[in-house]
Structure 1
Amino acid sequence: MTAPDPYADLPPITDEPARLSVVHREPLRDRLLTVAQLADIRPPTPLVDGLLYRNTLAQLSATAGSYKTFAAIAMSCALALGENFESHRVPTAEKVVYVAAEGASGLRARILGWCELSGYDPERLDEQLYILPCPVQLGDIADVSEACDLARDVGAGLVVLDTRAKCTLGLEENSATEQGRAIAAAERIQEAAGCTVFAIHHAGRNSSSPRGSTAWDGGVWSDLRMEGADLLAKVKCEKHKDAPSGCEHQFRMVPHTVSQHLMPGVGETARRTLVAVSNDSETGAQNLTASETKVWDALETAPTAAGLSTSALVELSETSRASVFRALKVLQDKGYVRNVGSEKRALFIGTELGRQQMGGQP
């Protein structure tokens, strides 16, 4: 009887060497540029004009309760749809990965609320806006490598880290050295997908300045700082490296309850949210906002009496589609505007009541 072979279950011995994962590094000598070659380096182009730029590292810092997540959600949704974010031009639609590091439970109502109030079909966000309901730890090489692959595979134009604190667990917040590691990790994700990485961060208790080490302040391309209270907010562009800085943008938070049509079977409390919109100054005419006045002016100066579509009003009023949609809702509620078309193909005209209340002026 032949004895069993003790080596039968072992893999066969081969002469093929083990494969090693090698990162190919371009020599510094090959990276040198002449002065003439500097002309080939183009400055980043806008992602959300005036706020975010393509293939950069950015941060938005604000104290707790300053509506920073509502602003980030609104920007992300607009970018994913390729629609202007209020007065900020969005040149093209980009896929967005939103890292909800503090949990994703409330994001559904916030996203659907923005869509509903702005007049967009939320189904358009499918395969454009992705939610990652867990943090990406910038101090963990496995997390960062997987995030690089994810952003590249999705084709992301924007990766939002909300919040930076939750994505840097284990790294000392006040240490420039350890936060420098986090910055390098964020830049790896940026370079892997050619995307913008946008970190949402907490500010100090009594300031809009980012909490912790100033390493991020110097390391980011765009440094946005936000203050907010009583449903009003202001975003200041503290720094863009190669674009105009110092501008301020005013926003207001509009309370909105998402319809049961979009959130069937969900209680009213869970459907309540806030939506960040531009805080246009009110004009003298019937306390209309600037956007509402522009839409009224476009209707009254229209070359046709047959009514204008929403698309035509966007072009004539030079206002974002979301702002036009909201303006039309207000003007219709006041009785200044009515739809003479159909539900599917709306055409709007000004009413006699509107002309009387506006002083008979276009």
Structure 2
Amino acid sequence: MSLAEYGTELDENGHPATPDDATTRAPARVPLRDRLLTLDELGNLAPPEPLIDGFLYRNTLAQLSATAGSYKTFAAIAMSCSVALGEAWEGHRVPSAEKVIYVAAEGASGLRSRILAWCELSGCDPRRLSDQLYVLPCPIQLGNFADVSEACDMAREIGAGLVVLDTRAKCTIGLEENSATEQGRAIAAAERIQEAAGCTVLDIHHAGRSGSTPRGSTAWDGGVWSDLRMEGSDLVAKISCEKHKDAPSGCEHHFRAVPHTVSETLMPGVPETARQTLVVVSSDGETDPLSLTGSVRQLWDAVETASTSAGMSPATLLDVSDISRATFYRALKTLQTRGFIKNAGTEKRPMWVGTALGRQAFKGGAVS
């Protein structure tokens, strides 16, 4: 419930507004007596509807927390693009297309290549994201009345179904991170945005150094409807659904970060290094021993036993793997798309090396 519903509105400095301000800016307060529900009326309440089945639900407040370098922004971008297009995200149903506002509070300079890379790997025409995905290249300060009011108007006018705040730290400057009282103000502000547009607000937050537990006050952990926690390193990641208030939770989903260089067609005149990025994709079930051929194992053995730290060129790998050219390139593509190898060279001169995900998959002959 928002501060406005309690009749406690804040001015632009975060102080209680005067009666005149509260009257003009806050919606009319509904008396508590008029909010009472009978048992029959409880039965008329709609069940939670998924925004991304199993991850996010409509008109709720959610958080995704992860340590630095865990690929949380890449995951948030992939979710946002899927919701904007109304297409399943890595096998998880997205019932309908919704407009998305992505608040790039830490800067928007690298988002274009990340979004275009997702489009290329997903086979999506980026033009389909026009008027569906919007990027705000500055924070919305949840402790600032003017910022929150403007964000409410913006989300309502656009008709947003999802607002992503990346990251909470940049959107709560001036609010003590460890204070339940001050973070409670931030939660109430995020709920105002949610209620204004009937949208889902996804808060991206840093975890502590020791794991995926969110940093700072636990007020958010109790206040959110969905609590997602992410861990990742060396191109391997996991998202745990710690909590959904009224939907199944406790599940884990595994992902890999696939290196990708956006084509010059989509980013003409941009240097190759500025087109190199990552795309987070599902790896659930990908290490099933029955899903890979012997030639893939043979090529993996060549990568691991013969490669240097700088990697090996395709020509050298072909020579040492002792398989036919056609089979070699099919096996190479399999290892690449599953994240078992990565390019340590350039787009024009690739040098392939094994990844931690590949070593985990092939450990002890698990994959054959």
Q: TM-score, normalised by structure 1?
A: 0.74
Correspondence 1:81 to 2:46 = no
What does residue 173 of structure 1 align with?
A: 177
Distance in 2 separating the partners of 1:231 and 1:122: 25
Distance across 2 between alignment mates of 1:330 and 1:243: 41
2:163 maps to 159
Picking from 107, 112, 115, the partner of 2:116 is: 112
Distance 1:220 1:39 in 2: 23
Stretches of structure 2 lacking an aligned partner (at least 5 in a row): 1-19, 294-328, 335-368
Counterpart-to-counterpart distance in 1, 2:221 and 2:209: 17
1:282 to partner: Cα distance: 2.8
Q: Which amino acid aligns with 1:77?
A: C
SS at match of 2:43: helix
Q: Structure 1, residues 220-269: CA drift from partner, whole Å, max 9, x if none?
A: 00000000011000000000000011000000000000000000110000
SS of residue matched to 2:257: strand
Kept in 2, the 8 Å contact 1:226–1:236? The answer is: yes
The CA RMSD over aligned residues, in Å, is 1.9
2:36 aligned with 1:21, yes or no? no
Aligned to 1:287: 292
Distance 2:200 2:78 in 1: 16
Q: Percent identity?
A: 75
Find the structure with the greater CA-based Rg: 1
- 2:340 corresponds in structure 1 to none
Structure-2 residue corresponding to 1:359: none
Deviation at 1:43, TM superposition (A): 2.4
- Structure 2 Cα separation of the partners of residues 215 and 330 of structure 1: 50
Q: SS in structure 2 opposite 1:150?
A: helix
Q: What is the number of equivalent residue pairs in this alignment?
A: 277
Name the structure 1 match of 2:206.
Answer: 202
**Kept after mapping to 2: 8 A contact 1:62/1:210:** yes
Secondary structure of the 2:90 match is coil
Equivalent in the alignment of 2:65 = 61
Partner of 1:233: 237
Kindly provide the amino acid, as one letter, of the partner of residue 201 in structure 1: H
Q: Quote the offset at 1:21 in angstroms.
A: 1.8
- Kindly report which structure 2 residues correspond to 1:329-344, keeping only aligned pairs within 5 A, or say none: none
- Which one-letter code corresponds to 1:112 in the other structure? L
The 5-angstrom pairing of residues 136-285 of structure 1 reads 136-280=140-284, 281-285=286-290
Structure 1: state its 5+ residue gaps.
1-17, 289-328, 335-362
Distance 1:136 1:330 in 2: 47
With over 3 angstroms needed to count, the CA separation of the structure-2 counterparts of 1:124 and 1:71, relative to structure 1, is same
Show the counterpart of 2:305: none
Q: Deviation string for 1:111-131 (max 9, x for gaps)?
A: 000000110000000000000
Is contact 1:255–1:272 with CA below 8 Å preserved after alignment? yes
| Matched residue SS, 1:234 | strand
1: CA distance, partners of 2:192 / 2:98? 19
Q: Classify the secondary structure of the residue corresponding to 1:40.
A: coil
Q: Distance in 2 between matches of 1:22 and 1:183?
A: 19
Q: Is the 8 A contact 1:236 1:249 kept in 2?
A: yes
1:331 Cα offset (Å): 8.8
1:146 CA drift (Å): 0.3
Pairing partner for 2:134 from 130, 133, 150: 130
- The equivalent residue for 2:354 is none
TM-score, normalised via structure 2 length: 0.73
Q: Distance in 1 between matches of 2:256 and 2:167?
A: 22
Shift of 1:283: 3.5
Instruction: Give, in angstroms, the shift of residue 285 of structure 1.
Output: 4.7
CA distance in 2 between counterparts of 1:124 and 1:41 reads 34
User: Secondary structure in 1 aligned to 2:170?
Assistant: helix
Which amino acid letter does the alignment assign opposite residue 282 of structure 1?
T
Mapped contact 1:44–1:56 kept (Cα < 8 A): no
Query: In structure 2, how many angstroms separate the alpha carbons of the residues matched to 1:43 and 1:36?
Result: 15
Instruction: Look up the equivalent residue of 1:80 and give its one-letter code.
Output: A
Pairing 1:45-56 to 2, within 5 Å after superposition: 45-56=49-60
